[in-house]
Amino acid sequence: MLTPAGIESYVAANRDRWLEGYKELVRIPSLSADPARDGELRRAAGLLARHCAAIGLANVRQLEEGGKPTVYAEWLGAPGKPTVLVYAHYDVQPEDPVALWHSPPFEPTERNGRIYARGASDDKATLWIALCAIEAWLKVEGGLPCNMKLFLEGEEETGSPSLAAILMRHKDLLGADFILSADGAMMQDGRPDVMVATRGIAKLEVALKTAAKDLHSGGFGGAVANPISVLSRLVASLHDMNGAVAVAGFYDGVREPTAGQEAELAAVPFDEAKFFAAVGARPGAYEQSRSVLERLWLRPTLEVNGIWGGWTGPGNKTVLPAEANMKITTRLVPGQDPDRVVEAIKAHLQAACPAYATLEFKAMGGGSPAYEVPPAHPALKILDRVLGSVYGTPTVRVRLGGTLPLCALMKQHLGIDTVAMSFSTGDEDYHAPNEFFRLSSFDRGLKAWCGVFPAIADAGADAFAGYRP
Ligand SMILES: [Zn+2]
C-alpha cells in the first residue's frame, strides 16, 4: 500500500471518534421519501457541509434543482494529477415496519460487532469512511495525492428525480476523470469484488379489451372473447419452449460473452443449488444451456410482474370481464436500447393479438440502459490493487442483475465512468428492518479509502486520457 505511516497512526488514533461521528450522522432520520422528514434530511446535509469545511475541503456548497440538496465540496491542490469524483448518498429508506426492529431504527446499537440502524450500511457507513480518509490525508499530509470532488446526493432512495438537472447545470464543476462511488455493496463479507456492469430496465403496461363493458357470462360467454384467456395466450407467447424470449428483435445488439467475461464468471464462487434453495425455488427454467450467473448477469430477461382482471373477490361472480391487464419489466444488457425493446414487445403482442381483441399500451417511462465499465479502464486496476492489498486476496469481477441508473446518467451527462468501492455487504438488510453494518468493514474501509487516493495519483492523469470527454 502507498499509505504513509503517519496516516495509518492518525487513523488508529481517531477511529473511535470517527465511529461516534458516524453514529451521529446515522441518528438523523434523513428520509428522502417522506416530506415530513425534509427538515431532518436538510439537517443531515447541513451537518455534512459543515464537516466538509471543518476537515479542510474547499468550495463547500449545496446544489439543488427543485429536489433534495446535493452536498458538494472539493480539494484541487494536486495539479497534473487525476481528479476523482467521489459519490455517496446521505438519504435513507423509510424505517417501516418499525415493529420488526430489535432496536430503535435511528438509535445506532452495537450487537455482535455490528451497528444496527437505518442507514447504518446504505449508505452512511462508506460515505463517512470516505470522509474520514479524506480528513486523515488533509490533516497529516496537508493535502490529497490526487484531486478530489465530493458529491453527496440527498435523493438516491427516491430514484434521484433531480440528479440529471444537477448534472446538467453543474457539468463543468463536476468534471473529473472518473467517479468512485461509496455506494454499492460487496457480494460476500471478506471477499473483495469489483462491480463492472449493471443491467438496464425497460417497462410497459398493457390493457387488453374484448368488449365495451363487463358482461353476463351466461348471456355472452361463448360468443364474446374472454380477455383473460386472450391475454394469457399472449403472455405464454413471450417465451419459447427453451425459456428464451420469443419477441422478434428483443436480442438485437446482445453479444455472446467474450472469453474474458467467461473467465470472470468462472472466477466467482457461486453455488447454483444453494442459490435456488435459499429462496425455496427449483432450477430448470429459462435458458438451460447457460449458467445461472450468465443468465443473471449477461442475458436480458422479460418478466410479467403482475396480471389482473375480472372477479377476484370472495365467492364467485359469473362475469365475462371486458378487460385484462399486465405489467412487464425487462432487464437489459449492454447493446440493448430500452425504447427499442419496448417497441419490439408491443409489436410482438400486437401481431399475436386476435382481431376480436384490442390492445392499449401505457408508457411507463423510467427506462435505463445497461451500464458497463470499459474492461481496460484504469480505475479497475486501481481497485484491484487497493482491495487486493487490504483483503490479502485478489478481487473478483462481478455484475449486478439489477439496475443503477446513476452510472448511465453520469456517463450520459458527465461522459465519465463509475466504479464502486463500498464496504456494505449484500446481506446487511438495507431497505429492510434491522439494517446493520459490520465494524470489521469500517476498519477495512478506512484502509482502502486512505490507500485509494495515492493509487489514483500513481496511475497518472494520462491513464484516463481515453476515458474522459
Ligand atoms: Zn445506497
Write out the DSSP string of 108-122. -EEETTEEESTTTTT
Find the 188 Cα to ligand 1 centroid distance in Å.
17
Taking the CB of residue 382, how many other CB atoms lie within 10 A of it? 27
Alpha helices in 353-438 (DSSP H): 378-391, 405-414
pLDDT, tens digit, for every residue of 200-242?
999 999 999 999 999 999 999 999 999 999 999 999 999 999 9
Find the 278 Cα to ligand 1 centroid distance in Å.
24
pTM of the entire predicted model: 0.91
Say whether both 225 and 304 belong to one domain: yes
Say whether both 247 and 349 belong to one domain: yes
pLDDT, tens digit, for every residue of 365-403?
778 999 999 999 999 999 999 999 999 999 999 999 998
Find the 346 Cα to ligand 1 centroid distance in Å.
33
Q: What is the grid cell recorded at 179?
A: 467517479
The b/e string for 331-369 (b: 16+ C-beta within 10 A; e otherwise) is bbbbebbbeebbebbbebbeebbeeebebeeeeeeebbb
Find the 384 Cα to ligand 1 centroid distance in Å.
22
Q: Which of 363, 379, 397 is where one domain is finished?
A: 363
**What pLDDT was estimated at residue 1?**
61
**What pLDDT was estimated at residue 367?**
87
Taking the CB of residue 260, how many other CB atoms lie within 10 A of it? 10
For the chain, the average pLDDT equals: 96
In a domain, 133, yes or no: yes
**What pLDDT was estimated at residue 405?**
87
Find the 43 Cα to ligand 1 centroid distance in Å.
19
pLDDT, tens digit, for every residue of 155-191?
999 989 999 999 999 999 999 999 999 999 999 999 9
pLDDT bracket for residue 109 (50, 70, 90): very high
Say whether both 106 and 227 belong to one domain: no
Strands (E), 104-186: 109-111, 114-116, 147-153, 178-181
Find the 275 Cα to ligand 1 centroid distance in Å.
24
| Structural domain containing residue 219 | 200-254+300-363
pLDDT, tens digit, for every residue of 40-83?
999 999 999 999 999 999 999 999 999 999 999 999 999 999 99
**What pLDDT was estimated at residue 2?**
81
Instruction: Provide the number of structural domains found in the chain.
Output: 2
pLDDT, tens digit, for every residue of 253-270?
999 999 999 999 999 999
Find the 92 Cα to ligand 1 centroid distance in Å.
8
**What pLDDT was estimated at residue 88?**
98
Say whether both 215 and 250 belong to one domain: yes
Find the 180 Cα to ligand 1 centroid distance in Å.
14
Taking the CB of residue 113, how many other CB atoms lie within 10 A of it? 11
Say whether both 218 and 152 belong to one domain: no
CATH number of the domain encompassing residue 129: 3.40.630.10
